[in-house]
A and B are shown apart, each in its own frame.
Chain A
Amino acid sequence: MIARALRQAVVLLALALLPAIVSGALQLGWKDNRPLAEGEVRAETVREWGDKVQWVDARSRDKFEAGHIKGAILLNEEEWNSLARAFINDWDPDRPVVVYCDGGSCELSHAVARRLREEFKIENVHVLKGGITAWPEK
């Protein structure tokens, strides 16, 4: 009886795998084909820039400490005044700045990028499309 239940469960799991693979592939394709918003850049493009990228994490301190892209500096709106100095000290005008947040519908990276452009007049600022979930290496 248990064997029968397990066999049937395995059949269901196997059947579910097919549409999952299709929908997963479609969604990856969907992500790639969605048009870029102003200032956004795709992960593949950033990969081409290599080590030059200065990563900026626009999320909360909690999330940053739980895990962030290697080399990223925390700069969020909550603590902007105290975090800005650390960013400016590290900032190099010859390196592109890429700001990220969670991905999905998160808008924090756009807000931080906008402030960098408006308040500091830093032009080489981009927002990572898809957020941290689009960048697997950490």
Chain B
Amino acid sequence: MRLLLLIPLLFLAPLAHADLKWDKLVQEFKRVPDDKEIEAHYVFHNTGTTPVTIKSLHSSCGCTTAKLEKKTYAPGEQGDVVLHFNFGDRKGNYLKGVIVTTDDKNVEPVTLKLYVEIHDPLTVAPALVFWRKDEAPAAKTVQLTAEAAQHVKIKSVTSSNPNFTATLQTGQPGLNYTIAITPTSTAQKESADITVQTDFPADAPHTYTIFARVK
């Protein structure tokens, strides 16, 4: 009698064979920050003889979420894991991974990889200029360079604090600019945000901020 009670507790060895085949495990994209997010589809097929249940989709970061319509797939059935990566304020190259595990011990966990290059069409270098107290109030320059493939025009440059002047010099229009920032005095701590208004993207033009400080 006690034996019968135990049977459900025994670990049953997998008898049939399960397998998941993925069309693509790695995908790469290039985007601009204003795209804000990206969605990538990872299609898979159950090429085994038994149903497979996806147990978990473990993301490497909360900015990346993974969605599945349902958890169990019959033999021959096709499924689609949708990776959604929210850029936030990121810039640069990012690799986001999602580990897919199933209920079948014969199916190894796989990592779905998403490479995203988030490149800003305009590079502002440096985004911070500062003077120490009582340092000579000489002008400091910031270079703005647009990508050759995407010209970006500077429409205006404004300083939030009249004690800092910001002068725009155009190199090649749409390609490179210089902004010279000069404090009227460095006798005490001061701060200004220099706002650079551009024309890209056309529907919601981006503004960049350069921080100017006397520390």
Contact = CB atoms under 8 A, between A and B. Distances in A.
Nearest to A93: B215
A48 to B, nearest CB: 24
B211 interface: yes
B211 A92 contact: no
A85 interface: yes
Given A93-B130, A119-B126, A85 B211 contact: yes
B14 to A, nearest CB: 31
Contacts of B132: 93
A121 B126 contact: yes
A91 B129 CA distance: 12
Chain A interface extent, by class: 20 to 34
A33 interface: no
Contacts of A93: 130, 132, 215
Interface stretch (A11-19, A24-32, A76-84): A76-84
Given A60-B62, A78-B63, A93-B215, A88 B128 contact: yes
B127 interface: yes
Contact of B126 (A60, A77, A120): A120
A77 B125 CA distance: 18
Chain B interface category by residue count: 20 to 34
Contact of A77 (B88, B124, B130, B211): B88
- Looking at B62, B89, B90, which has the most chain A CB atoms within 10 Å of its CB? B89
A86 to B, nearest CB: 11
A82 B88 CA distance: 11
Contacts of A41: none
Given A60-B62, A89-B191, A93-B132, A78 B89 contact: yes
Contact of A88 (B63, B124, B213): B213
Interface of B: 62-63, 88-92, 124-128, 130, 132, 191, 193, 209, 211, 213, 215
15 contacts: A60-B62, A78-B89, A78-B90, A79-B88, A79-B89, A82-B89, A85-B193, A88-B128, A88-B211, A91-B215, A111-B92, A115-B91, A115-B92, A119-B124, A120-B127
